[in-house]
Amino acid sequence: MPLALPSLSASVSPLAVSPLVTSATADSIVGWLWTLLLFLFLGLVAAGLCVPFLAVERVRSLFRALPPAGRTLPSFVAVSVALSTPYLAGVVLTVALVDSAGPGWREGLLLTALFAGFAPIILAPAVAVIGLPRLGIDWDPTGYGPSTWAILLAGGLWYAFLAAVPLVALAVGMALPGGY
């Protein structure tokens, strides 16, 4: 009994890729790009709405001291985008892990609004006043007194409020009859 070998014309090149695989990969890349754009958009909007805090010399000196040293605006935008990370992570986790039927998303969005506020209200001022000077970044010309803490806490509260408003509005909308 002779051994039957497949013809060479029927063999598949190892470099050939199914159109479905290519489409799925492209969809995945597009999804990640939309996520990245959403991430940047949230941080840029927050930065724009927090610009009045740059009127305070201490706040400007903080952002001038951060990399890239001597440039206020890039540091300010980078910190604003970084502070939006917990909010975006909370929304992504809510959508990915919670069943959309029932009160799950509403509760997830409210919890995100509540707990993500920890970063701008508590963590960011603590890093600025306690952490940065220990790393050798001395940025406050007034000596890190109570007024510095008050300015940073006010900025953190404002940022948290700005980030929480759309989440709470979305959660309230989902609680209405008909939901979303």
Taking the C-alpha atoms of residue 137 and residue 62, their distance in angstroms, rounded to an integer, is 9
- Cα radius of gyration (the chain): 24
Taking the C-alpha atoms of residue 97 and residue 137, their distance in angstroms, rounded to an integer, is 40
- Among 152, 178, 126, 137, CA closest to 53: 152
Taking the C-alpha atoms of residue 128 and residue 133, their distance in angstroms, rounded to an integer, is 8
Give the per-residue pLDDT at 17.
Answer: 53
Taking the C-alpha atoms of residue 45 and residue 25, their distance in angstroms, rounded to an integer, is 30
| Per-domain boundaries in the chain | 41-175
Average of per-residue pLDDT values in the chain: 85
Each residue's pLDDT tens digit, 107-133: 999 999 999 999 999 999 999 999 999
Each residue's pLDDT tens digit, 63-73: 999 998 789 99
